[in-house]
Structure 1
Amino acid sequence: MTDIEQILANEVENDKTPSVQYFLFNQDSILKSVQLGFANISKQKPISTNTTYNAFSVTKTFTALAILQLAEQGKIDINKPVVQYLPEFRYGTEITVKHLLNHTAGIPNPIPLAWIHLDFEESVFDRNKFFQPIFEKNNKVKSKPNEKFTYSNLGYVILGQLIEKVANTTYEEYISQNIIRKLPINPNDLAFTIANKETHATGYHKKLSFSNLLLGFFIDKTKFMEGAEGKWRPFKKFYANGTSYGGLIGTPLAFIAYIQELMKDNSALISDKYKQMLFEENKNCNGKNTAMCLSWFVGELNGRKYFAHAGGGGGYYCEIRIYPDIKTGSVIFFNRTGITDERYLDKLDNFYINANR
């Protein structure tokens, strides 16, 4: 057993997660993969390459890519004020599209744990109606434009509305047509709904944990969760209310295909010129780096620069990453709750990056 496999086996064996999938890859092939544990504990159902997960905030990278595609088409200027495209925008005339993309608009970020609905409610869920009172309640900015980095899910709700307005279609349809269908994958492997309930990983939360006590303050556990299964309590199948900040559901291999295509020169998704804009680290108005590009975080591991994004919430946690200098990427998916950006991939990629300097 390799060091990577041992680390991940310990996670499963010590009940830190019901399952985990890790992949390291280059533009063309998988270099390392580890898949351990159960997609469903009560059914003793092992995970597989067909297992799908709620990817939460990793969706933001697709939203940013869509905005850059529209900019490339001349339909959006990211340096122009948002109000030029959305006259109803309530946060002033100085905030630009770029400020939303790099989280420097100062728009509030109310706690998002309650922002989900069950899968059977999807057909009647109206996200604009849902978010209207939230925007009304959080109608003042927390800082001046580009004064500082302030992560905001609401900012990405607005970007989703902007895509719909400019592209004259739904957010989901735009992403499906212009990103997902350009990838060499089955469209059901990356979507905004659960295409196959049998292959969707059940999301779990540790039963005996402080965070489980706190969870009751954020969601109605009797509505959104099932009874305990051993040391875990499962979530019922649900969707994020904010599709453009957290709605994607897919297999790890589908997200790998997305990253592989992004890493290519002359990508089918975006030109090199606009890709450079996507991955350019933002400096605030005082000239200091914010460790954030247009939706992608910037980091470094053993001297190697990387771009990354995590996706976490009730029942699921994942990370995606690109090492641009060596055109290598990695992903990890858990079916357990993750709330913070754990940078878990540092622990695993470290072995490969060390070996290939």
Structure 2
Amino acid sequence: MLKIKPARILSLLFALLFYFSNPILAQSLENRVDSLIKKNISDTSGPGAVFLIAQHGKPVYQKAFGKANLELGVNLQPDYIFELGSMTKQFTAIAILILEEQGKLAITDPVSKYVPDYPNGKNITIHHLLTHTSGIKDFTKMSALAGIAQKDMSPKMMVDFFKNEPVDFAPGEKFDYNNSGYVLLGYIIEVASGDTYENFIRKNIFDKAGMTESDYASDRKIIKKRAYGYQKKSAGYVNKSSISFTVPFASGALMSTLSDMLKWQNALNRHLLLSAKETDKAFTNYRLNNGQNIGYGYGWHITALNGLKSREHGGSIFGFKTMGVYIPEQDLYVLALSNCDCNSPTQLARDIASMALNSVSHQ
């Protein structure tokens, strides 16, 4: 006869008590979230998305909707790998702060310290790049982009591509979301560390956080459990447009999973990568020269949801759209990863987070 130790029985009882007493895990919330998602992703035969709700570092909802591969009819699963798009900026920003903590750079450093020939580089700081307040030209708005989109570009080639474009405003005068700034930050990471951006992120973030399913994106490598990316045209779905990931580089070239992104969030919360003091720099709502708050930190939008402070960021790259919402006060994390750039999960993720917060408030 199987004997179970009293301590084990007590542990199981506590686990069950937590499960049934925590509103986040209530069946009613699950049903409401399911219903909300199905209203937004009604075509189950097309590409879809995966969703995560986590509280106190543990997943309490993980589901997949739609297809991972239309040609083979393969269903999405919660552990499939997605391209992150601009959620990559979170990793780039934290990598910069890691280098600052290592004494290899300072966020007050001018760009000219690392790129001596950068126009007006002595007046543009790393801080300006991190906060999208540099005024430099966003390369995604340049008509010449089509000519390099499928070319393998070195980080220096990418910087050279946009550095001589006319600026949009003086540093610190405006907030204007800018991909060039984060490409330049990726180049600075390489100069300051003496390593490639890809290797630096892997060694200093992915490995330390235990993110074994995350990587620099590639269309050539065999990547198990890859979700294929799609776009929707008037005639229906098509495979995503091809791009060289050396072009978005540090502004949008990483890929990951729901579970790895939760490891990322937990690593930040537990200060596995950075001290609390240095980490807080990423989550400060910074100001323009005139004192106006910009609603952005380093790699995160600093905003509010249901009256609570919220850290958010989305991403968009050919074939994929992503969104993450974190509510520090409730240690609540909501993540949505879509494999069609026709399905923006931005508002959906915020609505799911709002539902979860309403459940918490009724405890």
- Residues 1:235 and 2:240 are matched in the alignment: yes
Q: In terms of Rg, which structure is larger? A: 2
Residues in 1 aligned to 2:32 and 2:206: alpha-carbon distance in whole angstroms: 34
- Residues 1:206 and 2:220 are matched in the alignment: no
Q: 1:183 aligns with which of 186, 197, 209?
A: 209
Which amino acid letter does the alignment assign opposite residue 198 of structure 2?
E
Alpha carbons of 1:184 and 1:116: their partners in 2 closer, same or farther (altered >3 Å)?
farther
Q: Tell me if the contact between 2:136 and 2:167 (Cα under 8 Å) persists in the aligned partners.
A: yes
Q: 1:154 aligns with which of 157, 163, 180?
A: 180
Q: 1:63 aligns with which of 74, 87, 92?
A: 92
1:48 Cα deviation (Å)? 1.6
What are structure 1's unaligned runs of at least 5 residues?
209-227
- Residues 1:310 and 2:310 are matched in the alignment: no
In structure 2, the residue matched to 1:132 is 160
- Residues 1:248 and 2:254 are matched in the alignment: yes
Deviations 1:19-60 (A, max 9, x none): 111101134310112211110112110112331111111111
Q: 1:284 aligns with which of 278, 281, 288?
A: 288
Alpha carbons of 1:12 and 1:338: their partners in 2 closer, same or farther (altered >3 Å)?
closer
Residues in 2 aligned to 1:56 and 1:347: alpha-carbon distance in whole angstroms: 21
Which amino acid letter does the alignment assign opposite residue 12 of structure 1?
I
Q: Tell me if the contact between 1:312 and 1:339 (Cα under 8 Å) persists in the aligned partners.
A: no
1:342 Cα deviation (Å)? 3.5
1:209-220 pair list within 5 angstroms: none
Which amino acid letter does the alignment assign opposite residue 88 of structure 2?
T
1:127 Cα deviation (Å)? 4.4
81-90 or 299-308: which moved more? 81-90
Deviations 1:319-357 (A, max 9, x none): 122211122211100111169893431111111111112
Residues in 2 aligned to 1:251 and 1:259: alpha-carbon distance in whole angstroms: 12
Residues in 1 aligned to 2:83 and 2:133: alpha-carbon distance in whole angstroms: 26
Q: Tell me if the contact between 1:62 and 1:175 (Cα under 8 Å) persists in the aligned partners.
A: yes
Q: What secondary structure sits across from 1:172 in the alignment?
A: helix
In structure 1, the residue matched to 2:101 is 72
Which amino acid letter does the alignment assign opposite residue 63 of structure 1?
T
Alpha carbons of 1:318 and 1:203: their partners in 2 closer, same or farther (altered >3 Å)?
same
In structure 2, the residue matched to 1:301 is 305
Residues in 1 aligned to 2:61 and 2:44: alpha-carbon distance in whole angstroms: 23
Q: Tell me if the contact between 2:231 and 2:342 (Cα under 8 Å) persists in the aligned partners.
A: no
Deviations 1:40-99 (A, max 9, x none): 112110112331111111111101001111111121111122212321222332111101
CA RMSD between the two structures: 2.4
In structure 2, the residue matched to 1:320 is 324
Which amino acid letter does the alignment assign opposite residue 171 of structure 1?
Y
1:143 Cα deviation (Å)? 1.1
In structure 1, the residue matched to 2:264 is 258
Residues in 2 aligned to 1:343 and 1:109: alpha-carbon distance in whole angstroms: 25
Residues in 1 aligned to 2:169 and 2:156: alpha-carbon distance in whole angstroms: 25
Q: Tell me if the contact between 1:239 and 1:247 (Cα under 8 Å) persists in the aligned partners.
A: no
Q: Tell me if the contact between 1:202 and 1:236 (Cα under 8 Å) persists in the aligned partners.
A: no
Q: Count how many residue pairs are aligned between Structure 1 and Structure 2.
A: 327
| TM-score of the two chains, using structure 2 as the length reference | 0.83
Which amino acid letter does the alignment assign opposite residue 304 of structure 2?
E
Once superposed, which parts of structure 1, at least 4 consecutive aligned residues long, lie more than 6 Å away?
none
Alpha carbons of 1:343 and 1:293: their partners in 2 closer, same or farther (altered >3 Å)?
farther
294-303 or 84-93: which moved more? 84-93
Deviations 1:213-247 (A, max 9, x none): xxxxxxxxxxxxxxx7xx21112665431211011
What are structure 2's unaligned runs of at least 5 residues?
1-29
Residues in 1 aligned to 2:344 and 2:337: alpha-carbon distance in whole angstroms: 14
- Residues 1:12 and 2:41 are matched in the alignment: yes
Q: Tell me if the contact between 1:319 and 1:331 (Cα under 8 Å) persists in the aligned partners.
A: yes
Which amino acid letter does the alignment assign opposite residue 269 of structure 1?
L
Residues in 1 aligned to 2:34 and 2:345: alpha-carbon distance in whole angstroms: 22
State the identity as a percent: 26
Which amino acid letter does the alignment assign opposite residue 258 of structure 2?
P
Q: What secondary structure sits across from 1:10 in the alignment?
A: helix
Residues in 2 aligned to 1:116 and 1:331: alpha-carbon distance in whole angstroms: 32
Alpha carbons of 1:338 and 1:98: their partners in 2 closer, same or farther (altered >3 Å)?
farther
Alpha carbons of 1:341 and 1:46: their partners in 2 closer, same or farther (altered >3 Å)?
closer
Residues in 2 aligned to 1:4 and 1:234: alpha-carbon distance in whole angstroms: 29
Alpha carbons of 1:198 and 1:276: their partners in 2 closer, same or farther (altered >3 Å)?
closer
Alpha carbons of 1:318 and 1:340: their partners in 2 closer, same or farther (altered >3 Å)?
closer
Residues in 1 aligned to 2:282 and 2:195: alpha-carbon distance in whole angstroms: 23
Residues in 2 aligned to 1:134 and 1:71: alpha-carbon distance in whole angstroms: 26
Alpha carbons of 1:29 and 1:342: their partners in 2 closer, same or farther (altered >3 Å)?
closer
